[in-house]
């Protein structure tokens, strides 16, 4: 099955939308105290992507070997995830490692796609 995965995060919350051919699932969460107002917006977006994949797999919205288009509205994330651009941020390095681990363990077929922020279906849940 094919999925489109949108996600977003700010200093207080994260959100995500998993859009299949027939259904749309959306979720949002407040950051835990450990992260709230203590991380950058990019770090928050990595948390959102990590949790969105974890939630999608855990609720069987995303199954082994599914095709997932991960929609990225941040150029830096697109470059880090798509072309293995390096970062010195240990927090982001760890999130990338977890994300890659999910992808590998579940044999997901991933396509990273750069989108404009106005086309990010998940950012309305942060308002």
Per-residue pLDDT tens digits for 31-60: 999 999 999 999 999 999 999 999 999 999
Report pTM: 0.94
Strand 109-114 and strand 67-72: pairing?
parallel
In sequence order, the β-bridge partners of residue 27 are: 16
Range of weakest confidence among 3-12, 19-28, 80-89: 80-89
pLDDT for 62 equals: 94
Please state the φ and ψ torsions of residue 30, each to the nearest 5 degrees: -80, 145
Show the tokens assigned to 46: 């990595």
Strand 2-9 and strand 109-114: pairing?
unpaired
Per-residue pLDDT tens digits for 100-113: 999 999 999 999 99
């Amino acid at each position: 099955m094919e999925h489109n995965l949108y996600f977003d995060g700010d200093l207080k919350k994260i959100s995500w939308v998993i859009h299949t051919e027939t259904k749309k699932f959306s979720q949002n969460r407040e950051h835990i105290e450990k992260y709230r107002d203590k991380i950058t917006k990019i770090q928050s977006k990595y948390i959102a992507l990590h949790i969105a994949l974890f939630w999608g797999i855990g609720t069987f919205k995303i199954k082994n070997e599914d095709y997932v288009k991960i929609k990225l509205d941040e150029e830096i994330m697109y470059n880090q995830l798509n072309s293995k651009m390096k970062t010195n941020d240990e927090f982001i390095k760890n999130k990338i490692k977890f994300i890659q681990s999910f992808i590998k363990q579940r044999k997901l077929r991933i396509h990273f796609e750069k989108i404009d922020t106005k086309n990010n279906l998940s950012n309305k849940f942060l308002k």
